Each structure stands twice: as structure tokens, then as C-alpha cells.
Structure 1
């Protein structure tokens, strides 16, 4: 890793705790709309549905609006509650509005970034909606650590497509040999980066099975200190 000068991070699920912040957003929404729903049980249903729709979105099989609406609709159907399309739109809009009301980070995020900023230039590559991601970074005080922020809307393509990685390197004035990608998605972050030609580290807190044993992985962010 001696050649590494630039570290690129995914944001959601890697540094910014999407599950915890989402649960708090839905808890606020259910209270405001007088829905008698246990937010924890709802999130157990919602999370895998959300992940599945994000994978479709990353593969360009659905658009942003379909992602936003269908993940809510499917989650309510899965818990056996029928709501109108207007209510689905209301919940989806409130979710985006309230998502950044709380900005919990994955354990070890600040400690790791404080360590890395003295040795490397840090960057973000995210498939998230640009307007929302900017607010997340600002409200969580993460923006001060990153020199460049590349989102899929600006790059014209989403991870794992090579276009977004090339865009990120160009903006960062970095070469492939000098760069490393860290993220929680084996398909979008890790294989996307590897196929593009840069080193990748899989943030794998659940210890999911990896496609091959050559993939570098960590279960806690702080373990990245042993690599970089």
C-alpha cells in the first residue's frame, strides 16, 4: 500500500449509519401521521427491500422515483397494511426530508478519518441522491475530511460502472495505482473498483461470504488502520 495517496469512501452504510438514521426518520413519520406501527419491526422489513431496490437502481433497471416509491409501498404491503398512493408519496417525501435530522455514524468513523487525513487525501464516491448526500455530509460534520465528492448524478453513471470511478479519479487528480476504494457493497464498491483497476477494501460488518478469498475485507472501520 506504499503507493496509495488517495482513499475513496462510500458514504451510506460505510461511514453514515443509514439503518439507524432511517429508523429514526420513520419513527418520526409514524408519530406525525398517527400510524400505529412499531418502527423497529418495520425496519426489519424495510431494510432488505430497500437494499434490493438500490441494487436495481445501480444496475439502471429502475429510476430514482421508482426506488423512492416502491420501497415504501412494498414494505407496507409486507407488514399487511394498505395505504393509498397519496400516502405513499407523503411518506416518501417526509422520509427524504427527515432522513438527515439525525446523523449517526458507523462506529469508528471519526477516529479513522482523523488518522487517515494526516496521511492521505480523502474522497467520497456515492450513488446516493446528490442533494441528500450533501446535507448528510454537512450535518454530520464529515464534509471537512473530504477533498472531493463524486455522486452518480454528476458522473452520469452509478457504481459499479467504470464511468463514476474514472470521473472520481479525474476530479481528484489521482491515478489508479495511487487509489483505494472502501465500501460496504461487494458489487458496487468492491467489484466495481477492482474491475476498474483500483484496489478495494470490503467493509463487511456482517461477515458476509465473499466471491473469492483474495478480496481484502474488514469487519470494523478501525481495522483499516492495519491496512493503510
Structure 2
């Protein structure tokens, strides 16, 4: 007999909230404010993979939050060959975090799918993002009202894919894992993390829809209707 899904857990960044687009806009504002004379496209080409590398280190507790915020900028500027003092890097790292949630671009279909799913399921967020920023992102993009609970790694004490963050989120939502499904863009953190915890999962991958055998996957959020 098929288990009935009652609750859906979403990742936020790169799944609903268009991190790369909003991040580029935040950097544009901060660089203009402080007169950082770099070509934004050249900077982002270098910064994006560096940022992903630092987030993976942070995900597995190999660096601190402060090391993440400083290190990704320092390494990007070094690779770009742009001379900048440490004090300015620290200022930029703080300002960037403040500007980031002011932009609210969502992935295409986000509001439509949340409206559709919210009529059938209880919706929740599980994120490794910083508590201070994620709430602002949800409010400023006007999707906060769709979610019953918001679990972040700071309050849970661990980060995805650690099973404890999923257990924490399930407890917050007062639901059994058998009745839940996790949706996110990160195969390891979101999908395999949830599966290893005993939850079902769907990978959101707009770049390569057919990624891993036996993993449900969608290239567009609206395609979630095929599963839900």
C-alpha cells in the first residue's frame, strides 16, 4: 500500500530562491557603494565555483561561518589579481550579506507550485543558510506564508546532509518521515541526505534533468505536479 504524503520540505537557495541572480545584484550594489573597480561578470565567473567549494567545506564543518564569508571573497579577488586589503574584504562580506535578501528573484514557477502544493500538503523549509538571512529572503520574496516551519542549520546544530537536521525538522513539523518528501537542488545534501534519513526526495536540477539512477528529478518546479 502506498504511503500518503502529507508534508513537503523544500530547500531554499538554488531551489526556490534564485541565489545566483540575487547574489549578482547584491555584489553589483556593494561594489558600486565601495568603488570596487572590477568587472562583475569576470568576478562572478571566478567567485561562483569558489563559493560552492567553501559552502561544501562549511557543510561538513571544516570551516566556520566567518571563514566562509571572508575566504570566498579573498580567494576570488586573489584569482582575479585585484589588490584589496583585509579590512575592506571584511566590510564587503558583511555588506553583501545585508544586501543579499533585499533582492527577491525566484525560480520560474515557484509561486505557482507553492500555491498548488499548499492546497494539498503542509509545506516546510530546511536550509543550511544563515538564520539572519533566510527569514528575510522568504519575507522579501513574499513566500514566507506558505511554510509552516523553517529549519536552519544554526538552530538544528548540524547541516544537511546530517540526518539530525532532518530529524529536527520532522519533530518541528510533528510528522513521520514516511509521510514526507524533500525537494532540493543538491544531490548530496538535500536528496541523499533525506533518503538516508528515511524520507523520500526529489532532485530539482534545471541544468541536467536526468542525473542519477533511481532518483526522482525535475528540471522545472512546475513538473513537481507529475509526482505530487
TM-score, length-normalised on structure 1? 0.97
TM-score, length-normalised on structure 2? 0.97
4+ residue stretches of structure 1 with deviation over 3 A? none
Number of matched pairs: 227
Q: Give the equivalent residue in structure 1 for 2:177.
A: 176
Q: Give the equivalent residue in structure 2 for 1:7.
A: 8
CA positional deviation for 1:39: 1.5
Q: Give the equivalent residue in structure 2 for 1:129.
A: 130
| Residue 210 of structure 2 is aligned to residue 213 of structure 1 | no
For the structure 1 residues 208 and 92, does the alpha-carbon distance in structure 2 shift closer, same or farther, using more than 3 Å as the test? farther
Q: Give the equivalent residue in structure 2 for 1:84.
A: 85
Q: Give the equivalent residue in structure 2 for 1:199.
A: 200
CA positional deviation for 1:208: 7.1
- Please list the CA deviations of residues 144-186 of structure 1 after superposition, one character each: whole Å capped at 9, or x if unmatched: 0000000011111000000100000001011111000000111
Q: Give the equivalent residue in structure 2 for 1:224.
A: 224
- Distance in structure 1 (CA, Å) of the matches to 2:188 and 2:27: 28
| Residue 43 of structure 2 is aligned to residue 45 of structure 1 | no
User: Structure 2 stretches of 5 or more lacking a match?
Assistant: none
CA positional deviation for 1:36: 2.0
Q: Give the equivalent residue in structure 1 for 2:143.
A: 142
User: Structure 1 stretches of 5 or more lacking a match?
Assistant: none
- Distance in structure 2 (CA, Å) of the matches to 1:40 and 1:18: 16
- Distance in structure 1 (CA, Å) of the matches to 2:36 and 2:139: 31
